[in-house]
Amino acid sequence: MNSRDLIHHPACLPLIVFCLGILLADANAAQKPVAPHPKPSVAAETPEKTRDAQLTLGYLGQTRPQAVAPPFFQDAATAQGVQGALLGIKDNNTTGVFTRQHFELKQVVVGPEEDVTQAYRKLLAEGVQHIIVDVPAEKLLELSGMPESADVQIYNVGSDDDALRGAHCAVNTVHLLPSQAMRADALAQFLLKKRWQKLLLVVGPLETDKSYAQALKRAVKKFGLKIVEEKQWLHSFDDRRTPESEVPVFTQGVEYDVALLADTGDLFGHYFPYRTWLPRPIAGTQGLVPRAWYYTHEQWGALQLQNRFRRQSGRWMTEIDYAAWLAVRAVGEAATRTQSIDYAKISGFMKSAEFSLAGFKGMPLSFRAWDGQLRQPMLLVDNDYPVGIAPLEGFLHPKNELDTLGMDQAETQCHGR
């Protein structure tokens, strides 16, 4: 039987009809338009985006006239403090990407004769409760005592006055800049370790010179050193009186190991090295100087902070920059740990024993409960290079070695916190 006979065979007709039916059904289906699948709604597909919690910090500064103009070869440190705070904001927001927190900075810097109080009230009116303040000690005391400051946390980055941590302390103020007592204790530890125990103390005419001299005297007594003579510097150099003639005569007739200078305005201290009657080291406000931060410090990862700051500002980080950076970072750390931007939670945690802050100094930093001072190591710097870092080895404390620097709890005159 050939293929033509097979097609016309009666038994094959049902199969042929079935196959043709399938082919026609497929053809009809292909010609019908396909109804589009319903798209899911945007609300059902993407959950509503949660906004980051936003915390605004304030920066209040006042420029101060310089008693002595910096030398022509030394770059002036412009916008001190502000640049440090801005770098801290960047660092906080780097972490804030993961914690859904965002930080901003409102900055107000007034001139020497402008009204600091008015600028402060402006920040308060904008709802700012964390304010970094770089103003003289007497103005800081006024701001912290205002009734409007009851629910404000003030971060002192501009004054190292011991009285602000002592008899004039305020419960709403913490201090990021080291106190005069911390500076003096760091220096005294180094002198004792070197066995340079006989000291000549030279005090300048400024009030800050006198208060720093008091801190030095306290440290000398605390560490068992001895001031063999104290002298007041009352000279003013002119064309007829040169440093080469004045300094040797001024330091003559005294047997001492080190000359301690209290010259916070840098009016005369820079004339002392290599001009004293006896060949002796200089320390205090000039010579070997205790500092919170210095541009040659590079240990414990400090170099990366130095470089980041220089790329941002075009200059090196100063003590005030570092203090402002620490203030912003302290707020950021507390916000991260509490998972909140609530003022009471941040302020409370920051002052608790659980709080600690990395400051590129090899030890965790924290606030003292009794006076609000930030514990931190001190760099001892001379000739642009760190000579040592206090607390030095061998100076022990039953609770925290950093409390060998500055007023310990048993010594404090702050009783209002």
Q: Which residue has the higher pLDDT, 37 or 249?
A: 249
Q: Domain count of the chain?
A: 2
pTM: 0.86
Looking at the structure, tell me whether residues 284 and 296 fall in a common domain. no
- First-to-last C-alpha distance (Å) of the chain: 115
pLDDT at 52: 86
Looking at the structure, tell me whether residues 159 and 226 fall in a common domain. no
Q: Are 211 and 264 in contact (CB under 8 A)?
A: no
Q: Are 61 and 135 in contact (CB under 8 A)?
A: yes
CA distance 80 to 77: 6
Would the pLDDT of 221 be above 70? Answer: yes
Looking at the structure, tell me whether residues 132 and 186 fall in a common domain. no
In a domain, 392, yes or no: no
In a domain, 362, yes or no: yes
pLDDT at 301: 95
Average pLDDT over residues 19-36: 44
Range of the domain at 135: 53-178+292-376
pLDDT at 67: 65
pLDDT at 383: 84
- The conformation of residue 351, written as its DSSP 8-state character, comes to T
Average pLDDT over residues 51-75: 81
Average pLDDT over residues 286-313: 97
Would the pLDDT of 7 be above 50? Answer: no
pLDDT, tens only, 322-333: 999 999 999 999
Would the pLDDT of 211 be above 50? Answer: yes
pLDDT band at 86 (very low <50, low <70, confident <90, very high): very high
Return all residues near 108 (Cβ < 8 A) that are at least 6 apart: 58, 59, 60, 61, 119, 122, 123
Looking at the structure, tell me whether residues 235 and 95 fall in a common domain. no
pLDDT band at 228 (very low <50, low <70, confident <90, very high): very high
Q: How far is CA 198 from CA 185, 188, 222, 254, 260, in A?
A: 16, 11, 14, 10, 10
